[in-house]
């Protein structure tokens, strides 16, 4: 049985998720309107950075595999 997602699909998914989380963490402001959503902004920003690092790791792995391949 093969895994349904390829390495490039996972990389794209990580990039999209990281961008969405980074934009959301920057747009959330305690002074912006009246919102009743209780979101831990520090945790959201840390999660966004973690997804960004994972995406950059997949990019580095792809670059290394291109360089090493004959």
Query: What per-residue confidence (pLDDT) applies to 6?
Result: 87
Query: What per-residue confidence (pLDDT) applies to 47?
Result: 92
Dihedral pair phi/psi, residue 36, rounded to 5°: -105, 20
Query: What per-residue confidence (pLDDT) applies to 31?
Result: 59
Query: What per-residue confidence (pLDDT) applies to 57?
Result: 94
Query: What per-residue confidence (pLDDT) applies to 58?
Result: 93
Taking 70 as the pLDDT cut, the residues of the chain under it are 29-37
Query: What per-residue confidence (pLDDT) applies to 34?
Result: 59
Domain boundaries, the chain: 7-30+40-68
DSSP 60: H
Dihedral pair phi/psi, residue 61, rounded to 5°: -65, -40
């Amino acid at each position: 049985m093969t895994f349904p997602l390829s390495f490039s699909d996972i990389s794209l998914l990580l990039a999209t998720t990281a961008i969405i989380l980074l934009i959301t963490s920057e747009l959330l402001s305690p002074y912006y309107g009246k919102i009743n959503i209780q979101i831990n902004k520090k945790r959201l920003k840390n999660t966004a950075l973690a997804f960004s690092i994972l995406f950059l790791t997949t990019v580095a792995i792809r670059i290394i595999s291109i360089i090493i391949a004959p």
